[in-house]
Amino acid sequence: MSRLIMFNMITLDGYFEGDKSWDLGFHDLVWGPELEQLSNEQLHSADRLVFGRVTWEGMAEYWSKATGTTADHMNRLPKVVCSRTLTSADWNHTAIVKDAVAELPELKQQGQGNMFVFGSGMLCEALMNANLFDEYRLVVVPVILGKGRRLFNAGVSELPLKLLEARPLAAGGVILQFAPLRTDGKITVLPSPRVTGRVEDSINRR
């Protein structure tokens, strides 16, 4: 079974995007070899990539025109765009899911690797409220942005988490990995697939 994993970079005050769409300049404060390696590992452990509509449109616009090893891999990977309004998705190997909460558990049963959700704030909120994430991976960037889009909003349900790892970055940020606690206070962590291969660039820069 696949593991559904959120990966996002957030500021110290909780924003994952500035006050304009794709305003991600704060990523540059911590981006470097360590995050490039993590991005490479995540890409090669993925069975599918999962996006909300807005994030998918931005990714599709960029990667469908890009060239190189990373672009080839991104264009080959199965992708899911969660949208109630899209009627077609022309980025390679993209399936449309109308009801993410109902359909993503079925897709998890079909895989053996990881399913990553990047960006996609509204989708993440729905999946958090349904407790469908198996793991949360956050890169906390040491900056107070002051405005923008928050990842964890007032509408998110309470969800106790267990810290799996805290890894400081040479550039000053911290990678945090959490798993949800079960009702009995324990955690269920499925083993991560072995990561093989490398790519030349990162998939999480956009």
For the chain, the structural domain boundaries read 3-180
Express each pLDDT in 38-66 by its tens digit: 988 999 999 999 999 999 999 999 999 99
Cβ(25)–Cβ(53) under 8 Å?
no
- 60: burial class by Cβ within 10 Å (0-12, 13-18, 19+)? buried
Residues in the chain: 206
Predicted confidence (pLDDT) per residue in 95-114, tens digit = 999 999 999 999 999 988 99
For residue 28, is pLDDT > 70? Answer: yes
For residue 96, the model assigns a pLDDT of: 97
Beta strands in the chain (DSSP E): 3-11, 15-17, 46-52, 79-82, 94-97, 114-118, 135-141, 149-150, 161-168, 174-180
pLDDT at residue 21, rounded to an integer: 87
3-11 and 114-118 beta bridge pairing: parallel
pLDDT, mean over the chain: 88
pLDDT tens string 129-160? 999 999 999 999 999 999 999 999 888 889 99
Is the torsion defined by CA of 197, 106, 179, 93 positive or negative?
A: positive
Residue whose structure tokens are 């790892």: 165
pLDDT computed for residue 38 by the predictor: 93
> What's the topology of domain 3-180?
Dihydrofolate Reductase, subunit A (3.40.430)
C-alpha 195/C-alpha 175 separation (Å) is: 18
